[in-house]
Amino acid sequence: MKDKETIRQGLKDNPRLKRWLDYLIMNQRDARPRWYIRLLAPLYQHRGFGSKIYHSVRMDTPPYRDFSLGKQSVIESFCCINNAVGDIVIGDYTRIGIHNTIIGPVTIGSHVNLAQGITVTALNHNFEDTSLRIDEQGISTQPVVIGNDVWIGANAVILPGVTIGNHVVVAAGAVVTKDVPDNTLVGGVPAKLIKQI
Ligand SMILES: CC(C)(COP(=O)(O)OP(=O)(O)OC[C@H]1O[C@@H](n2cnc3c(N)ncnc32)[C@H](O)[C@@H]1OP(=O)(O)O)[C@@H](O)C(=O)NCCC(=O)NCCS
């Protein structure tokens, strides 16, 4: 069977088919998968043994991108998980806390604890061209990577292109704009090193 990248390339070469498939899969106004696609999601996604996604989670996870949740990992109530523009891969024993928003491409390791109200986003809207509205300029993505054994405090924001190392604490309310090395505590807006752990 062809892998997803080959299929994606094939669709790029056939824009009419791509538009038609996109119409069948995505609600164009809401920019989220149609109800019948959402029902099928557990069949085309990897969800590890003992993992749990609460009913109120908004899973905007169309089949043309990967979504994977490791064993014993949990996505708590009122989260929004969106992989429409990039894969989302979450490791084992990881907790995505209440009211988090994750927009791919994002990779999160194992034994990671995201507190409440966090946004992890790999997506920016383009805005450089002043002759066009921002919503006419498309988007760009830079992957976000969060290592293993990380605790991110409430209401933090992790921005596109950031890599967070292993055994890291991000203080509550931080806005993380740059990479974070292993064994550190960072905090503030923009986030700066508070101390080595
Ligand atoms: C970072 C945190 C863990 C404290 O760690 P700590 O090692 O005890 O740090 P301290 O309290 O000694 O503070 C060290 C410095 O960081 C600062 N600091 C602490 N928390 C901060 C935050 N959220 N934002 C910015 N600076 C912070 C302190 O003011 C202090 O600065 P100073 O040295 O200039 O006085 C804690 O403040 C925090 O943010 N916890 C998150 C709690 C949470 O989100 N819980 C949700 C349940 S999972």
Q: Is the minimum distance from the CB of 188 to ligand 1 under 6 angstroms? A: yes
- 134 vs 90: CA distance, rounded Å: 31
Protein residue whose Cα sits closest to atom 33 of ligand 1: 194
Averaged over 27-48, what is the pLDDT?
A: 89
Sorted by sequence, the CB contacts under 8 Å of residue 68 that are 6+ apart come out as 45, 46, 47, 48, 87, 88, 89, 90
Q: The pTM is what?
A: 0.92
Query: Is 134 strand, coil or helix?
Result: helix
Count, residues in the chain: 197
Query: Ligand 1 centre from 171 Cα, in Å?
Result: 5
Token reading at 191: 């986030």
Q: What is the pLDDT of residue 10?
A: 79
What's the pLDDT tens digit per position in 96-119? 999 999 999 999 999 999 999 999
- The best mutation among 193, 194, 195, 196 to test binding of ligand 1, ranked by most ligand atoms within 8 Å of the C-beta, falls on 194
Protein residue whose Cα sits closest to atom 19 of ligand 1: 171
Tell me which of 3 and 141 has the higher pLDDT: 141
User: Is it the case that residue 6 has pLDDT exceeding 60?
Assistant: yes
Averaged over 178-182, what is the pLDDT?
A: 98
Question: In degrees to the nearest 10, what's the CA dihedral of 197, 94, 172, 157?
Answer: 110
- 62 vs 21: CA distance, rounded Å: 11
Protein residue whose Cα sits closest to atom 25 of ligand 1: 188
Query: Ligand 1 centre from 33 Cα, in Å?
Result: 39
Q: Residue 188 CA: which ligand 1 atom is closest?
A: 25
- 41 vs 64: CA distance, rounded Å: 11
Contact 170, 149 (CB under 8 A): no
Q: Is the minimum distance from the CB of 169 to ligand 1 under 6 angstroms? A: yes
Q: What is the pLDDT of residue 64?
A: 87
What's the pLDDT tens digit per position in 127-176? 999 999 999 999 999 999 999 999 999 999 999 999 999 999 999 999 99
Mean residue pLDDT of the chain comes to 94
Question: In degrees to the nearest 10, what's the CA dihedral of 61, 163, 185, 182?
Answer: 120
Q: Is the minimum distance from the CB of 190 to ligand 1 under 6 angstroms? A: no
